[in-house]
């Protein structure tokens, strides 16, 4: 009973520390954005007394950049804590440019709106800064479009469908048997060696075969002493290098530098 109570206390303490950390991070980016806005609305440029430094539009823009960096840090922490619980993308890159733009977590867009509004106000007083801002927004837009194009593409749908096969033990056993037969017979297995009679030769089939080969290598690399390589990475005079176009193959390690008589 005491252990349960202590676990609850530790859990509460952990949540409390997370809240404090989040508030500190949010406060840091808000301070940068707020300071930039306050300085921008002054009728006359603010000059630091004693050191005679003018907090002009370029200093204000640097505060915007600091606010953006603090916000990125907040997003990193948020993603690390919730990637499993909230089924977020497996990489921070995709979380930023895929999850957030499609409104999976709309509240996270609020800081971006505030940053955009303040930076737009500040850059009005400069000729050089609008060019930088437009370039930054253009790069972000191109990255977002590329991620959407990838995730909504037929290629991605095929990859998703194929990845679910890795949870199908019957599918794994079937491909393991096919690959075992080829390696036992020849000491290697090309992609084309695994195309059974009547097996459709198309892009989806190619992905399935390569995924099956990769899974076989992952499961049997050390127990069966094999390599998973591209044919054009073999020695120049190696017979298995002759494949054109180059293709993936599973190969016994002892045959890596030996002359192999192809069947």
Q: What are the pLDDT digits (tens) for 182-206? A: 998 888 998 888 876 445 567 778 8
When pLDDT is cut at 50, 70 and 90, the band that residue 91 belongs to is very high
Residue 63's pLDDT is what?
79
- Please tell me the distance from the alpha carbon of residue 241 to that of residue 237, in angstroms, as a whole number: 7
Do the beta carbons of residue 227 and residue 256 sit within 8 Å?
yes
- Find all residues with CB under 8 Å of 150, minimum gap 6, and list them: 156
3-state secondary structure of 188: strand
Is the pLDDT at 3 greater than 90? The verdict is no
Q: Average pLDDT over the chain, rounded to whole?
A: 79
In eight-state DSSP terms, residue 249 is E
pTM flag (> 0.85): no
Model pLDDT for residues 29-71, shown as the tens digit of each residue: 666 666 666 666 666 665 555 555 666 777 778 878 888 888 8
Would you say residue 23 has pLDDT above 70?
A: no
The Cα-based distances of 240 to 189, 202, 230, 236, 247 in angstroms read 10, 23, 10, 10, 10
Structure tokens at 51: 């050191």
pLDDT for 101-156, tens place per residue? 998 888 888 888 888 888 888 877 777 878 888 898 999 999 999 999 999 988 78
Tokens 């899974």 map to which residue?
A: 215
Instruction: Calculate what percentage of the chain has a pLDDT beyond 70.
Output: 74
Q: CA dist 124 to 26, 118, 186, Å?
A: 26, 10, 71
The pLDDT tens digits of the residues spanning 234-263 come to: 887 778 777 678 888 999 988 877 655 555
Q: What percent of the chain has pLDDT over 90?
A: 20
162/74: higher pLDDT = 74
| Residue 198, pLDDT score | 45
Q: Are 143 and 97 in contact (CB under 8 A)?
A: yes
- Residue extents of the structural domains in the chain: 2-152, 169-255
Q: Which residue has the tokens 């008589």?
A: 261
Please state, in angstroms and rounded to a whole number, the distance separating the CA atoms of residues 75 and 100.
Answer: 10
Q: Please state the rounded mean pLDDT for residues 76-98.
A: 90
The CATH code for residues 169-255 is 1.10.10
Say if CB 122 and CB 114 are below 8 A apart. Answer: no
Residue 17 clears pLDDT 60, i.e. is over it: no
* Cα separation, 233 vs 189, whole angstroms: 15
């Amino acid at each position: 009973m005491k252990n349960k109570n202590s676990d609850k206390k530790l859990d509460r303490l952990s949540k409390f520390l997370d809240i404090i950390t989040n508030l500190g991070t949010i406060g840091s980016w808000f301070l940068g954005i707020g300071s930039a806005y306050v300085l921008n609305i002054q009728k006359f440029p603010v000059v630091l007394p004693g050191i005679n430094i003018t907090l002009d539009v370029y200093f204000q823009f640097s505060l915007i950049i600091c606010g953006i960096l603090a916000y990125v840090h907040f997003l990193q922490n948020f993603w690390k804590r919730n990637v499993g619980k909230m089924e977020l993308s497996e990489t921070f890159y995709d979380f930023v440019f895929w999850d957030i733009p499609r409104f999976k977590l709309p509240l996270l867009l609020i800081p971006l709106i505030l940053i955009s509004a303040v930076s737009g106000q500040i850059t009005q007083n400069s000729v050089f800064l609008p060019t930088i801002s437009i370039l930054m927004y253009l790069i972000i837009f191109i990255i977002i479009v590329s991620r959407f194009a990838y995730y909504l593409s037929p290629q991605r749908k095929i990859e998703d469908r194929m990845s679910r096969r890795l949870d199908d033990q019957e599918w794994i056993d079937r491909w393991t048997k096919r690959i075992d037969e080829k390696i036992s017979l020849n000491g290697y297995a090309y992609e084309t060696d695994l195309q059974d009679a009547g097996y459709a030769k198309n892009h989806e089939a190619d992905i399935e075969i390569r995924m099956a080969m990769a899974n076989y290598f992952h499961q049997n690399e050390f127990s069966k002493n094999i390599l998973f390589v591209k044919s054009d990475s073999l020695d120049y005079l190696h017979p298995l290098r002759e494949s054109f176009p180059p293709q993936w193959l599973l190969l016994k390690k002892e045959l890596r530098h030996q002359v192999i008589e192809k069947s």
